[in-house]
């Protein structure tokens, strides 16, 4: 079954690491946690275990942020991961729940249409009509299941959910209980239950959290990568893992290509060239690391199926333009300007320039 799954859950993909960590774990575990907080942090940031087993880093960046996140979950406060799109919020949340509960599948995707029944509980109407309100007619949500089982539940894009629906979380988070007035009963959360929500601060038309709800969350802002090297590292690791999953025949991407993409993204994101000398216009897109990763992946597929198997500027050009030019009028000007003033004069970037030029 899972061998054919397009994308495996974190706890499946890194089953070996989790297993090894749990074997080596001698520290105290909070109730219903699969690992001790220290081991969870180690799982996220990577490192060597006592027996020499190498744990790969999942989050590349400030270890302290991961410590705050894990420490938050040990208290009964919920965790809100906040940041620009593509700063590994969902990634971190998935791995946190995989490491803590061994299950990252308890997930509610927040959208403008997410209703209360997706967070609290719904009804099986056929049964409801036939039998009247009963436990059996109840449709459990991931939140309810997580409360019963004492695991982590993830809520993606919390701020996209309508404010009234968001607030239904307040009771769950403060009283740790989910009342079901129709049955005159309630579901009390078992120890180990907690919520990890993600939200991004770039979107328009989001619903800010009410201060009552905000107060139930500890916030960790995930930043864009600090340095060029860090970003290249992230892109490289993620692309390599993608190759494994997709079984791409293309040769592993040359570091140089990744470096160029990361350079383009960083320069446009920061509005200044790396040497700090030239000011640039900033396009409307976020140009996150995640997008850089997908551009490289995209390029790899292009190279594998349409090119000669080697990642070249031609294979990347379409992806880069797609990521940069989100607004067909303004961003195009920004991109053209960048192309003519920054890319063109760079001696060893001629191929990029030509490839991008052709597509415009």
Partner 1 sequence: MSTHILGIRHHGPGSARNVKNFLEEIKPDIVLVEGPPEADEILQWAVHNELKPPVAILCYQPDDPKQACFYPFAEFSPEWQAILYAKQHNIHVRFMDLPIANQFALEKENKKQVDENADSDSVEPKKSTDTNEAHTDVITDKEENIVQSIKRNPIAYLADAAGYDDAEKWWEHMFEYRNNNEQVFDAVAEAMQTLRSHLPQEDNKMEVLREAHMRKTIRQAEKEMFQNIAVICGAWHAPVLKEMPKQKEDNDLLKGLPKEKVACTWVPWTYGRLGSWSGYGAGIHSPGWYEHTWQYANDDGTRWMAKVAALFRKNKMDTSVAHVIESVRLADSLAALRNLSKAGLEELNEATLSVLCNGENILLNLVHDELMVSNKIGEVPTDIPKPPLQVDIEKLQKRLRLPATADFKDYTLDLRKEGDLERSVFLHRLKLLNIGWGANTNVSGKGTFKEQWRLQWDPNFSIEIIEKGAWGNTVEEAAAQFVIHYAKENNSLQEVCILLQQSIPAELSRAIDSLISQVNNLAAASADTIQLMEVIPDLVSVSRYGNVRKTDAALVTGIIDSMITRICVSLPAACVGIDEDAAQHLVNLLFKMNDSVSVLQQDDISKLWQETLLVIAKNNNAAPAVAGYATRLLSDGKILTGDDLVQAFYYSMSVANAPGMAAAWLEGFLKGSGTLLLLDEGLWNVVNNWVAYLREEEFIQVLPLLRRTFARYSNSERKKLGEKVVSGKSSSAGIVVSSTLAVERAKQGIPVMMQLFGYGANNK
In this structure, is the dihedral angle defined by the CA atoms of residues 98, 101, 107 and 108, taken in order, positive or negative? negative
Q: Which two tokens stand for residue 210?
A: 């009410």
The CB-of-200 to partner 1 minimum distance in angstroms stands at 13
> In which order are the strands placed within the sheet that holds 217-221?
107-109, 152-156, 194-200, 78-83, 217-221
By the rule CB under 8 A, 310 interacts with partner 1: no
Interface region with partner 1, contact rule CB under 8 A, candidates 34-42, 152-160, 282-290, 331-339: 34-42
Let me know: does 297 contact 242? Beta carbons within 8 Å: yes
Query: Which residue, chain included where needed, has tokens 């031609």?
Result: 314
CB-wise, 64 or 350, nearer to partner 1? 64
Interface region with partner 1, contact rule CB under 8 A, candidates 36-44, 274-282, 294-302, 346-354: 36-44
By the rule CB under 8 A, 188 interacts with partner 1: no
Nearest to 92 by CA among 208, 286, 223: 223
- Work out which of 13, 25, 37, 352 binds partner 1, going by CB under 8 A: 37
By the rule CB under 8 A, 75 interacts with partner 1: yes
Binding residues for partner 1, rule CB under 8 A, total 21
Nearest to 194 by CA among 248, 141, 149, 250: 149
The CB-of-220 to partner 1 minimum distance in angstroms stands at 6
By the rule CB under 8 A, 219 interacts with partner 1: yes
By the rule CB under 8 A, 225 interacts with partner 1: no
The CB-of-38 to partner 1 minimum distance in angstroms stands at 6
By the rule CB under 8 A, 49 interacts with partner 1: no
The CB-of-64 to partner 1 minimum distance in angstroms stands at 7
The CB-of-163 to partner 1 minimum distance in angstroms stands at 17
d(CA 314, CA 312): 5
By the rule CB under 8 A, 212 interacts with partner 1: no
CB-wise, 198 or 294, nearer to partner 1? 198
By the rule CB under 8 A, 72 interacts with partner 1: yes
- Scored b (16 or more CB within 10 A) or e, 79-100 reads bbbbbbbbbbbbbbbbbbbbbb
CB-wise, 38 or 207, nearer to partner 1? 38
The CB-of-291 to partner 1 minimum distance in angstroms stands at 22
The DSSP bridge pattern shows strands 47-48 and 185-188 to be unpaired
Please state at what angle helix 330-338 crosses helix 313-324, rounded to 10 degrees.
140
By the rule CB under 8 A, 245 interacts with partner 1: no
Residues of this chain that interact with partner 1 (CB under 8 A) are: 37-38, 41, 64, 67-68, 70-72, 74-75, 77, 80, 82, 211, 214-215, 218-221
């Amino acid at each position: 079954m899972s061998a054919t799954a397009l994308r495996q859950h974190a706890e499946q993909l890194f089953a070996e690491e989790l297993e090894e960590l749990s074997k080596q774990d001698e520290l105290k575990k909070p109730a219903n946690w699969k690992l001790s907080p220290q081991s969870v942090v180690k799982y996220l940031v990577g490192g060597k275990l006592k027996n020499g087993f190498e744990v790969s880093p999942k989050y590349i960046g400030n270890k302290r942020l991961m410590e705050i996140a894990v420490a938050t979950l040990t208290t009964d406060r919920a965790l809100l991961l906040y940041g620009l799109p593509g700063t590994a919020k969902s990634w971190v949340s998935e791995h946190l729940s995989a490491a803590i509960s061994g299950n990252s599948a308890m997930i509610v995707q927040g959208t403008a249409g997410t209703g209360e029944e997706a967070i609290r509980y719904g009804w099986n109407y056929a049964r409801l009509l036939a039998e009247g309100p009963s436990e059996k007619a109840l449709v459990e949500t991931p939140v309810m299941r997580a409360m019963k089982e004492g695991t982590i539940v993830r809520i993606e894009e919390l701020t996209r959910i309508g404010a009234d629906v968001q607030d239904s979380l307040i009771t769950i988070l403060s009283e740790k209980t989910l009342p079901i007035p129709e049955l005159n009963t309630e579901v009390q959360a078992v120890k180990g239950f907690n919520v990890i929500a993600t939200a991004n601060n770039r979107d328009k038309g989001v619903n800010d959290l009410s201060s009552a709800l905000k107060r139930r969350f500890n916030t960790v802002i995930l930043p864009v990568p600090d340095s060029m090297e860090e970003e290249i590292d992230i892109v490289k690791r993620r692309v390599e893992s993608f190759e494994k999953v997709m079984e791409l025949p293309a040769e592993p991407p040359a570091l140089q290509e990744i470096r160029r993409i990361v350079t383009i993204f960083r320069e446009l994101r920061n509005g200044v060239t790396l040497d700090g000398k030239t000011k640039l216009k900033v396009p409307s897109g976020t140009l996150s690391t995640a997008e850089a990763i997908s551009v490289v992946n995209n390029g790899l597929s292009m190279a594998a199926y349409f090119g000669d198997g080697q990642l070249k500027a031609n294979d990347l050009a379409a992806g880069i333009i797609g990521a940069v030019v989100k607004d067909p009028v303004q961003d195009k000007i920004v991109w053209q300007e960048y192309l003519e003033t920054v890319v063109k004069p760079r001696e060893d970037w001629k191929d990029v320039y030509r490839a991008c030029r052709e597509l415009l």
